[in-house]
Structure 1
Amino acid sequence: MSSTTTAPRRPVAVAILLIVTGAVGLFAAFNLVLDEFAKYENPKKVLTCDVSPFVNCSNVMASAQGHLFGFPNPLLGLMGFVAPIAVGVVLLAGFRGTKWFWTLFNSGLFLAWVFVTWLFTQTVWFIGYLCPWCMLVWAMTIPLFWLFTIWNLAKGNLPFGARARRVGRALLPFCWAFPLANYLFIAVVILVEFPNVLTTL
């Protein structure tokens, strides 16, 4: 009697998440790099995202935090957002990966989330200006980290044992709540720190 083996289902939703967030984040980072070049060419140039006393990309770019490693931060995004796009594409092609691969990739997403969280705190409490392109990068990194991490836990791809996998499976139906809570926290802080930001746009 012959037996057939059912091929594992491809994680289409996760792949689409990676591709879409990676592509939009790459688009935002690319525009930030173009704006950086425009400011190098003409330091007095008014950028299209310099729209109010509170929303001003030029002032954010000119800050020390905008060049944390000695070069413009957007170059990190320009390189980094290629990774989730590539991983999403190979997932659609049937790539399954190994535990060490998913651990390294998820570690990179965690570091990206930590970095944009730090940039958010610096932007709000120290720089004092908001950058729309930067906020778009935040908006893509947040669900990319939370949703993928919970999925990765649920699949047992991370080296945290069976208990962590059970936690991931329990959280998976509610994974949307984590980026939503992250968004709400950022929105509330911005509205508290910049109470007039909406009226000046």
Structure 2
Amino acid sequence: MSPRPGAMSVESTAPVVDPDAADDTPPPRSGVAVGRPSALWVLLAGVIGLVASFTLTVEKFELLINPAYVPSCNLNPVLSCGSVMDTPQAGFFGFPNPLIGVISFTVVIVTGVLAVAKVRLPQWYWVGMALGTALGAVFVHYLIFQSLYRIGALCPYCMVVWAVVIPLLAVVASIALRPLAGNPVLRVLYEWRWSIVTLWFTALVLMILVRFWDYWSTLI
């Protein structure tokens, strides 16, 4: 039977499906998107930490070659790299501690470059980075305790590393824990992260002032 005039054929209304159309659809992007400020901070922290660690490594080798060498960071009785370098704590794992910083901050720089270039690294990578930075922060605070209460001197280049690791931990942890943003505790920590970092630095500065107040008071 022929269709009635004006009637629309079912076949004529069926959409034409191109079998290759699905291949033209870009796949969903995987990995973690990092904001530009966070990416720039990771890169900057890596550069500053690497420069400080590399300089300290060079100073350490100069001291090994020539025991009479005076490091450039020997500024006064308190701020004295040489006093710290000659201690067992300066080679906690059997080799100079700055070598750990050279390797670690190189990884941080590479991560920062990729993040700035908007390369989405997988979630597990950022979790690993956060754990590594947390371990670095623990080691840094061990060295802070040793410098203040056992060695009795401060290494300026080491202090640069201290100042970098703490905020780096805040940034990397906020990226790694983003999938858990619904957790009320983590949400509060995220919202107050820079206040916590500020209090952290304030506590360290007060500890340094109190520990070496006998010397600082002579400069007033």
Establish whether TM, by shorter chain, passes 0.5: yes
Which of 138, 144, 147 matches 2:162? 138
Question: What do the CA deviations read for 1:48-90 (whole angstroms, capped 9, x no partner)?
Answer: 2111111110110010000001100000001100112111111
Mapped partners of 1:10, 1:146: distance in 2: 14
CA distance 1:90–1:193, change in 2 (3 Å): same
Mapped partners of 2:125, 2:69: distance in 1: 44
Mapped partners of 2:209, 2:38: distance in 1: 32
CA contact (8 A) 1:52 1:200 kept: no
**Which residue of the partner structure matches residue 13 of structure 1?**
37
Residue 113 of structure 1 pairs with residue 137 of structure 2? yes
CA distance 1:162–1:183, change in 2 (3 Å): closer
Deviation at 1:46, TM superposition (A): 1.4
Deviation at 1:142, TM superposition (A): 0.7
Question: What do the CA deviations read for 1:10-50 (whole angstroms, capped 9, x no partner)?
Answer: 51111111000110010100110110111012111112211
Q: 5+ unaligned residues in a row in structure 1: which ranges? A: none
**Which residue of the partner structure matches residue 47 of structure 2?**
23
CA contact (8 A) 2:133 2:169 kept: yes
Q: 5+ unaligned residues in a row in structure 2: which ranges? A: 1-24
CA contact (8 A) 2:84 2:147 kept: yes
Mapped partners of 1:18, 1:39: distance in 2: 31
CA contact (8 A) 2:47 2:105 kept: yes
CA contact (8 A) 1:53 1:200 kept: no
TM-score in terms of structure 1 length: 0.86
Mapped partners of 1:198, 1:74: distance in 2: 31
**Which residue of the partner structure matches residue 12 of structure 2?**
none
**Which residue of the partner structure matches residue 189 of structure 1?**
207
Query: Which stretch has the larger CA shift, 123-132 or 92-101?
Result: 92-101
Give the fraction of aligned pairs with identical amino acids, expressed as a percent.
Answer: 33
Mapped partners of 2:33, 2:172: distance in 1: 17
Code of the aligned partner of 2:193: C
CA distance 1:148–1:47, change in 2 (3 Å): same
CA distance 1:198–1:58, change in 2 (3 Å): farther
- Residues 42-121 of structure 1 mapped to structure 2, 5 A cutoff: 42-121=66-145
Deviation at 1:171, TM superposition (A): 3.5
CA contact (8 A) 1:54 1:197 kept: no
- Report the structure number with the largest CA radius of gyration: 2
Matched length = 193
Mapped partners of 1:172, 1:181: distance in 2: 15
Q: RMSD over aligned Cα, in angstroms?
A: 2.5
Give SS of 1:45's match: coil
CA contact (8 A) 2:33 2:120 kept: no
Mapped partners of 2:216, 2:156: distance in 1: 12
Mapped partners of 2:27, 2:217: distance in 1: 57
TM-score in terms of structure 2 length: 0.79
Mapped partners of 2:181, 2:153: distance in 1: 45
